[in-house]
Structure 1
Amino acid sequence: MKTTILAIAGILLASVSYAEDSVQYWMKIKATDKYERSLVAATGVTIETVREDFVVALGNESEKKALDELGILEVSFPMTAEMDFPARDSAYHNYDEMTKKLQDLMAIHSNIASMQSIGKTYEGRDIWAVRISGQLAQADQLPAVVFMGGHHAREHLSIELPIFYVEYLLTEYAKGNPRIQSLVNSRDIHIIPMVNPDGAEYDIASGSYRSWRKNRARNSGNSFGVDLNRNYGFGWGGQGASSNPNSDTFRGPMAFSEPETKAIKKYVEDHQNITILLSFHTFSQLILYPFGHVYDDIPVVRDRQVHEVMAKKMATWNGYTPEKSSDLYLAAGDTTDWSYGEHKIISFTFELDPGDSGWGSGGFYPGAEIIPSVQQKNLEPVLYLIDYADNPYRALDAERGPIFKP
Structure 2
Amino acid sequence: MRSSRRLRSLLAVPAALALALAGLAAPSAASAPGPETAGQYVVTGPRTGQQRSQVARTGAAINAVRAGGVEVSAIPSEVRAIRRLGFAVRPAPVQTANPSAAPSTAATSYHTFAEMRQEVDSVVAAHPAIARQFVVGKSYQGRDIVGVKISDNVATDENEPEVMIIANIHARERLTAEQALDYIGQLTTGYGSNSRITNLVNSREIYVMPMVNPDGQVYDMTSDTQPGRMWRKNRQPNPTSTGTDLNRNFAYKWGCCGGSSGNGSSETYRGTGPESATETKVLADFVRSRVVGGKQQLGMFLDIHSDAELVLWPFGYTYSNTVPGSMSADEEAAHRTIGRELAGTNGFAPEQSSDLYITDGTTDDYTWGQQRIFSFTFELAGGSFYPAPSAIAGEVQRSREALLRLTDYADCPYRAIGKQSQYCA
Please, what TM-score do these two structures have when normalized by structure 1?
Answer: 0.89
Q: Which SS does the other structure have where 2:191 is aligned?
A: helix
| Cα shift at 1:82 | 6.3
Tell me what 1:314 maps to: 342
From the superposition, tell whether residues 61 and 279 of structure 1 become closer, same or farther in structure 2 (CA, over 3 Å): same
Letter of the 1:342 partner, please give it: Q
From the superposition, tell whether residues 66 and 267 of structure 1 become closer, same or farther in structure 2 (CA, over 3 Å): same
Q: Identity of counterpart residues, as a percentage? A: 38
Q: Is the 8 A contact 2:38 2:267 kept in 1?
A: no
Q: Is the 8 A contact 2:46 2:70 kept in 1?
A: yes
CA distance in 2, matches of 1:346, 1:152: 21
* Aligned: 1:248 with 2:236: no
Which of 145, 154, 170 is equivalent to 2:172? 154
Which of 115, 118, 123 is equivalent to 2:133? 115
CA distance in 2, matches of 1:64, 1:325: 24
Question: Which whole-Å deviations, capped at 9, do the CAs of 1:187-220 have from their partners, x for residues lacking one?
Answer: 1011011110000000011243100000001112
Which of 359, 365, 374 is equivalent to 1:331? 359
Tell me what 1:273 maps to: 297
* Aligned: 1:304 with 2:332: yes
- Name structure 2 gaps, 5 residues minimum: 1-25, 291-295
| Cα shift at 1:139 | 3.5
Which of 136, 150, 162 is equivalent to 2:154? 136
| Cα shift at 1:32 | 2.0
* Aligned: 1:396 with 2:417: yes
Q: Which SS does the other structure have where 1:166 is aligned?
A: helix
CA distance in 1, matches of 2:424, 2:318: 30
Q: Is the 8 A contact 2:38 2:266 kept in 1?
A: no
| Cα shift at 1:69 | 2.7
| Cα shift at 1:227 | 0.2
| Cα shift at 1:369 | 1.6
Question: Which whole-Å deviations, capped at 9, do the CAs of 1:149-175 have from their partners, x for residues lacking one?
Answer: 00000000011011111111111115x
Tell me what 2:18 maps to: none
CA distance in 2, matches of 1:369, 1:78: 23
From the superposition, tell whether residues 279 and 23 of structure 1 become closer, same or farther in structure 2 (CA, over 3 Å): closer
Q: Which SS does the other structure have where 2:133 is aligned?
A: strand
Question: Which whole-Å deviations, capped at 9, do the CAs of 1:102-128 have from their partners, x for residues lacking one?
Answer: 011111111111111111111110000
CA distance in 2, matches of 1:18, 1:284: 34
Q: Is the 8 A contact 2:150 2:207 kept in 1?
A: yes
CA distance in 2, matches of 1:290, 1:82: 36
Which of 95, 108, 114 is equivalent to 1:96? 114
Tell me what 2:13 maps to: none
Q: Is the 8 A contact 1:160 1:371 kept in 2?
A: yes
Q: Is the 8 A contact 1:33 1:53 kept in 2?
A: no
Instruction: Please provide the CA RMSD for this pair.
Output: 2.3
CA distance in 1, matches of 2:40, 2:346: 31
Which of 172, 175, 191 is equivalent to 2:208? 191
Question: Which whole-Å deviations, capped at 9, do the CAs of 1:273-318 have from their partners, x for residues lacking one?
Answer: 1010011001110001000011121331111000100011111110
Give the stretch that moved more between structures: 274-283 or 27-36: 27-36
- Name structure 1 gaps, 5 residues minimum: 1-14, 355-361
From the superposition, tell whether residues 249 and 119 of structure 1 become closer, same or farther in structure 2 (CA, over 3 Å): same
Tell me how many residue pairs correspond in the alignment. 381
- Greater fraction of residues in helix: 1
Which of 45, 70, 85 is equivalent to 1:30? 45
